[in-house]
Structure 1
Amino acid sequence: MLNGSCLCGAIKFTARGAARDPAACHCTQCRKQSGHYWAAVQVMDADLTITGTPKWYAASPSAKRGFCPTCGSFLFWKGAADDDTGIALGALDGPTGLHLERHIFTEDKGDYYDITDNVRQEEQEDE
């Protein structure tokens, strides 16, 4: 089980069940919304409980991003046709036991940093 929250605590979440595909996304949208790259793990919607009311921003026709309307913490990424949700690794409480498995959209990464952690890199996300 994973627990997490936004910075101010207005939005809390619990993920029961398997968390999969911990990844860091370097796409322009994630960098703009988070201020750097964004790391998340996927959980099935049926296993995710959210307390509070996140604000959802439709970043594109195929996905939306959930954040706290009070403190602005970027917490969730949801594909329109998906039955799972990406939750921010940085918003999780305590030890998670998770490790990044891949970096995605690396062709869009900022020029001010290098990816040097020996984790698999993908220029575009696999479909």
Structure 2
Amino acid sequence: MNKSGSCLCGAITYETSGALRPVVACHCAQCRKTSGNYVTATSVARDRITIKGEPVWFASSDTARRGFCGTCGSNLFWDGAGKNISIFAGTIDGESGLKLKGHIFCADKGDYYDIADGLPRAEQADADLTTKVE
């Protein structure tokens, strides 16, 4: 599955080759702070993505960083220590062909919305729903 995507202004683009993980919604406080709501992301093996342009990387914890466009501010990537890099699903160009698989960090979700889609939910991280950070 080859996909492409970009930030809003086009200064950063990416191309993937190979399988993408189904989309997972993250409701943690960090995702809510960086996006204004929860985040939906897929992931791809590190050797299966080519990034053009220079994302700004912010170390959001001791084990992960977030990549965004320094020009338009678009959130693009979440990068932990695992084999994959997460890509924010809304940045994929055109039809993704992906489906939402479930929700993580539901204990931290905002009080202004409900999760009512019937998909699996985890109160915190869940290795069954996401790529496990090694």
TM-score under structure 2 length normalisation = 0.91
Between the aligned partners of 2:56 and 2:84, the Cα distance in structure 1 is: 18
Partner of 1:71: 72
Partner of 2:131: none
Partner of 2:93: 93
Q: Aligned with 2:116: secondary structure?
A: coil
Q: Aligned with 1:123: secondary structure?
A: coil
Partner of 1:13: 14
1:33, distance to aligned residue in structure 2 (A):
0.2
Number of equivalenced pairs: 126
Q: More strand by proportion, 1 or 2? A: 1
| Contact in 1 for aligned 2:22/2:98 (Cα 8 Å) | no
Identity of aligned residues (%): 53
Alignment map for 1:3-42 (pairs within 5 Å): 3-42=4-43
Between the aligned partners of 1:82 and 1:122, the Cα distance in structure 2 is: 20
Indicate whether 1:119 and 2:119 are aligned: yes
| Cα shift readout 1:6-27 (whole Å, capped 9, x = no counterpart) | 0000000111101014100000
Q: Aligned with 2:60: secondary structure?
A: strand
1:108, distance to aligned residue in structure 2 (A):
0.2
Range that drifts further, 26-35 or 13-22 = 13-22
Structure 1 stretches of at least 4 aligned residues deviating more than 2 Å after TM superposition: none
Q: Aligned with 1:90: secondary structure?
A: helix
Q: Aligned with 1:121: secondary structure?
A: coil
Counterpart of 1:13, as a letter, is Y
TM-score under structure 1 length normalisation = 0.96
1:119, distance to aligned residue in structure 2 (A):
1.4
Unaligned runs of 5+ in 2: 128-134
Unaligned runs of 5+ in 1: none
1:124, distance to aligned residue in structure 2 (A):
1.0
